[in-house]
């Protein structure tokens, strides 16, 4: 990614964060101030009703109650022996472990001991990569199953002679709708019935969970009245399938964007090559057409090696003259694109005939028929050997 693109993306994300901060502040700050005023009124009312309790003692008591609630204590019961309502029963502990490796981390239950925090560090370092591998496998299998089912629907559409482009769009829409129905809408109604939440609260919990945000203000099974041991483990398996579905959707979108990027780069590369070829060809034609009107007279034309005269044999010099090293005026890009086979003759300097043919092609504009070059007289084969009778003089 280029530096300018990265800076623009960073600026966009920062602007998005600032706008979100302003909206949340405008929506939530009045509610916070109202709750603070209500708490102050209740506190003053309690102190007036109980003059024997000081303000410092009440503040210390409130702090202890808040810490106990953060540790999972239930303020509505005084029983310490009933473990069915405990945060750390087997089902709740399994759900807490699942929130660690899924990186959701609701925060409604937190570790209070140093040994638990130390174990959590190593547990997360091992469990998160392990869950990532499981999530990739489940997402692949789930996406394949959904696509296989949608493939049968595509076959039906194709039998009805629906255009293939429309079939692809319909299959993508069906893939999204089926996943949202299974992993978003159905759990929403289940949580409304089991937890007693409103539809907004239930879908809020579903989206916050499947996006791994996990605020912790709404947690399935956190109500002490919910004493079914298998409820929270079942919720964790729903989280696994929902995260796998979203992972397959993101993978499909990433693959599609990668294919689009490759096609765009290939098309841009082809356009660039065509533009370079066209520019080189036009430059070569302009140079070739402007060559005869230039200032060099006919006698100074040896810069471009002329074709041999018909009456004089061409004798190859022992050492290459400086004028023979000058390349033809046409650019190499245009020559390579227009005459890929003839340019190989310039590499082999031992063949006079091929060199002369290449020079003649370089001086002949495209579109104009090149006249046949005069035949070159045969070269003597040796100091005392006669000419070949089969070749004309």
How would DSSP label each residue in 219-250?
-TT-STT---TTHHHHHHHHHHHHHHHHHHHH
Which span out of 64-73, 84-93, 242-251, 346-355 was modeled with the highest average pLDDT? 242-251
pTM of the model: 0.60
Q: What is the pLDDT of residue 23?
A: 94
Which residue reads 């002679």 in tokens?
Answer: 161
Q: What is the pLDDT of residue 333?
A: 42
Q: What is the pLDDT of residue 97?
A: 92
Averaged pLDDT, 68-97: 71
Residue 239 belongs to some domain of the structure: yes
Residue 90 has pLDDT above 70, yes or no: yes
Range of the domain at 205: 143-286
Count up the domains in the chain and report the number: 1
Residue 362 belongs to some domain of the structure: no
Residue 52 belongs to some domain of the structure: no
SS3 141: helix
Q: What is the pLDDT of residue 289?
A: 65
Residue 292 has pLDDT above 80, yes or no: no
Of 16-30, 117-131, 158-172, 307-321, the least confident: 307-321
Q: What is the pLDDT of residue 123?
A: 94
DSSP state of 300: T
Residue 16 belongs to some domain of the structure: no
Residue 18 belongs to some domain of the structure: no
Residue 159 belongs to some domain of the structure: yes
Averaged pLDDT, 234-246: 91
Spell out the residues 6+ positions from residue 83 whose beta carbon is closer than 8 angstroms to its own: 89
Of 36-45, 115-124, 310-319, 346-355, the least confident: 346-355
Q: What is the pLDDT of residue 318?
A: 53
Residue 328 has pLDDT above 70, yes or no: no
User: The CATH number of the domain where 164 resides is what?
Assistant: 1.10.287.70
Q: What is the pLDDT of residue 315?
A: 52
DSSP state of 163: -
Task: Give the residue, 288 or 126, on which the prediction is more confident.
Answer: 126
Task: Give the residue, 381 or 147, on which the prediction is more confident.
Answer: 147
Exposed / middle / buried, residue 195 (Cβ in 10 Å: 0-12, 13-18, 19+):
buried
Q: What is the pLDDT of residue 124?
A: 93
Q: What count of other Cβ atoms lies within 10 Å of the Cβ of residue 135? A: 18
Q: What is the pLDDT of residue 125?
A: 94
CA 163 to chain centre: 29
Q: How confident is the model at residue 108 (pLDDT cuts 50, 70, 90)?
A: confident
Q: What is the pLDDT of residue 184?
A: 92
Residue 251 belongs to some domain of the structure: yes
Q: How confident is the model at residue 64 (pLDDT cuts 50, 70, 90)?
A: confident
Averaged pLDDT, 303-318: 54
Spell out the residues 6+ positions from residue 284 whose beta carbon is closer than 8 angstroms to its own: 329, 330, 331, 334, 335, 338
Q: What is the pLDDT of residue 56?
A: 86
Residue 359 belongs to some domain of the structure: no
Per-residue pLDDT reduced to its tens digit, 211-223: 888 888 899 888 7
Buried b (16+ CB within 10 A) or exposed e, 136-155: eebbeebbeebeeebeeebe
């Amino acid at each position: 990614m280029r530096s300018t693109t990265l800076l623009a993306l960073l600026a966009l994300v920062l602007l998005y964060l600032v706008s979100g901060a302003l909206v949340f502040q405008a929506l939530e700050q009045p509610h916070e101030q109202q709750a603070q005023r209500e708490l102050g009124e209740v506190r003053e009312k309690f102190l007036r009703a109980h003059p024997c309790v000081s303000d410092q003692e009440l503040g210390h008591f409130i702090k202890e109650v808040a810490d106990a609630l953060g540790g999972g204590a239930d303020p509505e019961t005084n029983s310490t022996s009933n473990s069915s309502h405990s945060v750390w029963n087997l089902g709740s502990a399994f759900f807490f472990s699942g929130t660690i490796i899924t990186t959701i981390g609701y925060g409604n239950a937190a570790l209070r001991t140093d040994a638990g925090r130390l174990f959590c560090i190593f547990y997360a370092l091992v469990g998160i990569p392990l869950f990532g591998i499981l999530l990739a496998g489940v997402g692949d299998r789930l996406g394949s199953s959904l696509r296989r089912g949608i493939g049968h629907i595509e076959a039906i559409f194709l039998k009805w002679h629906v255009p293939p482009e429309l079939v692809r769009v319909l299959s993508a829409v069906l893939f999204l709708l089926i996943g949202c129905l299974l992993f978003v809408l159905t759990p929403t109604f289940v949580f409304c019935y089991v937890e007693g939440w409103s539809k907004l609260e239930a879908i809020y919990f579903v989206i916050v969970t499947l996006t791994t945000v996990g605020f912790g203000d709404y947690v399935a099974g956190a109500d002490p009245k919910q004493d079914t041991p298998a409820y929270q483990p079942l919720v964790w398996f729903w989280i696994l399938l929902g995260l796998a579905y979203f992972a397959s959707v993101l993978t499909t979108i990433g693959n599609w964007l990668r294919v689009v990027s490759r096609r765009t780069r290939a098309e841009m590369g082809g356009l660039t090559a065509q533009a370079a070829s066209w520019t080189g060809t036009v430059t070569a034609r302009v140079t070739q057409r402007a060559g005869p009107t230039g200032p060099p007279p006919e006698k100074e034309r040896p810069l471009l090696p002329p074709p041999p005269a018909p009456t004089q044999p061409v004798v190859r010099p022992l050492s290459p003259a400086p004028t023979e090293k000058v390349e033809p005026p046409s650019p190499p890009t245009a020559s390579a694109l227009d005459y890929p086979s003839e340019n190989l003759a310039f590499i082999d300097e031992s063949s006079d005939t091929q060199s002369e043919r290449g020079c003649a092609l370089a001086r002949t504009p495209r579109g104009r028929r090149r006249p046949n070059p005069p035949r070159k007289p045969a070269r003597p084969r040796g100091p005392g050997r006669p000419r070949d009778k089969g070749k004309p003089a």
